Amino acid sequence: MIYKVYYQESMLEVPVRENTKSLYLEATDVREVREKLANRGYNIELVQLLEGNYLEYEQKSEHYHLEQF
């Protein structure tokens, strides 16, 4: 399954919408997503499952790139 993760680059950073970044990740569940990103020190705001039409829409975006681990 493909997940979209919204995050701040630092745990010390206060979440501000304008500074929120996102990445795409393949994992079996939300727990695996968080485990894969645990060593990066991100302040994760939201982990969202992408499927169906929403996944197709995101895949057409120029920003769509699956993170490799």
The per-residue pLDDT for 52 is 96
The per-residue pLDDT for 26 is 96
Domains of the chain: 2-59 (3.10.20.730)
For residue range 2-53, list pLDDT tens digits in order: 999 999 998 887 788 888 999 999 999 999 999 999 999 999 999 999 999 9
Q: What would the two tokens of residue 25 be?
A: 């990740």
Whether the full predicted model's pTM is greater than 0.85, yes or no, is: yes
Q: 46 by DSSP, 3-state: which?
A: strand
- 21: CB partners within 8 A, 6+ apart: 6, 7, 8, 9
Average pLDDT over residues 48-59: 96
